[in-house]
Amino acid sequence: MKIIAILASGTGGHVYPAYTIAQEYIKLGYKILWIGTKNGLENKVVNNSSVIIEHVSSQGIRGKSSLKKLLGLFNFLRSIYESFMLLKKYKPSLVIGFGGYVSVGASVTSFLLSIPMVVHEQNSIAGTANKINYYFARRVYETFPLSFKKNSKKIIHTGNPVRTSFDKVKKPEEKYIDNNPCINILVMGGSQGAEFLNNTMPFAFSHFHSTNISIKHISGPNHAELVQNKYLKYSIDATVLAYSEKIEELYDWADLVICRAGSTSISELSKIGIAALLVPFPHATDNHQFFNASHLAKNSAAILLEERMDFIENFVTIANILLNDQKRMYMLSKNIQNIFPSNAINIIMEDSLKLIK
């Protein structure tokens, strides 16, 4: 039985690209050993009989108290042992890590067992775990160029793998062909929603005539009713969703997306080609969302709008410009399409399979 080990847990930023790549290996006849954690999103998202999920002890240490750092160190050492036992049991031909503390123990173990190991980094600033994994990896895949600030032959700029269902979404040439009197705006804050966007956008949209915009807002679990009431307060007829499993349909509908600057959201928007206004989460580790968004803004591939006191004023100004000159949205949609390599899945698959003995 041919097995490939996937190391990914926690948030969608790690889990979704990992699952996308896992499904490609499965198509080639491989079984997947997924090393995650008991509380990780992978336990809800991954649903495939060819995937075996095993759990190891893992928790972050950055920004934690001394006691939690000590516990984190203990769990790291424990995860090395747990990963060693799992890799010895399943004997994978390849290990591929997607960052996060869950990946470090297995990276060390794969090196000790001489199992080829590759790393994928989703953000513009490499995370602590992947900075460690870098030294054990035979190949390093970057979504953004120079995430590791290194010039090495083992680094390849691949982009971020996103599921192939996005290929069916309407292309910019169809979406922005006419100067529409009303634009469709999708607001989303990731799988957990974004408190700032939930609190701010209803009032921000109240500055526009209802005939000029149509709004759909993904609020995150447990916030839909509150956000809906905020829109009603300003007499705005918006569709508020707690969550959507049909994000492709929402992207197909939207002309403009307002969202955080996580790598998964940016990569999906790039794959499709949609004008985007990015509002980075200011408390992200290493401020990586700001640098994600900055990379796009510097290349005229998205609009960067920071979470500040003058946010609403700046948003109204920018939205009015886009409403009055929708060619700008077409330009943004085409530029974001070209910001990453278009065939991330193929690049990663072809290269990683070369490492299998």
- CB of 263 closer than 8 Å to CB of 126: no
Number of residues in the chain: 357
- As a whole number, mean pLDDT of residues 201-216 equals 92
Q: Tell me what pLDDT residue 179 has.
A: 75
Largest CA distance in the chain: 64
Question: Which distant-in-sequence residues (6+ apart) come within 8 Å of 114 by Cβ?
Answer: none
- As a whole number, mean pLDDT of residues 16-38 equals 96
Q: Tell me what pLDDT residue 62 has.
A: 59
Between 114 and 77, the higher pLDDT residue = 114
Q: How far is CA 264 from CA 39, 123, 237, 356, in A?
A: 20, 9, 29, 27
pLDDT digits (tens, 9 = 90+) for 142-151: 999 999 998 8
The CATH number given to 3-160+341-353 is 3.40.50.2000
Which CATH architecture fits 166-337? 3-Layer(aba) Sandwich (3.40)
pLDDT digits (tens, 9 = 90+) for 267-309: 999 999 999 999 999 988 889 999 999 999 999 999 999 999 9
Q: Where in the chain is the domain with CATH 3.40.50.2000?
A: 3-160+341-353, 166-337
Compute the distance between CA of residue 136 and CA of residue 152 in angstroms, rounded to an integer: 14
Sheet holding 31-36, edge to edge: 51-55, 31-36, 3-7, 94-97, 117-121, 139-142, 155-157
Q: Tell me what pLDDT residue 222 has.
A: 86
pLDDT digits (tens, 9 = 90+) for 222-239: 899 999 999 999 999 999
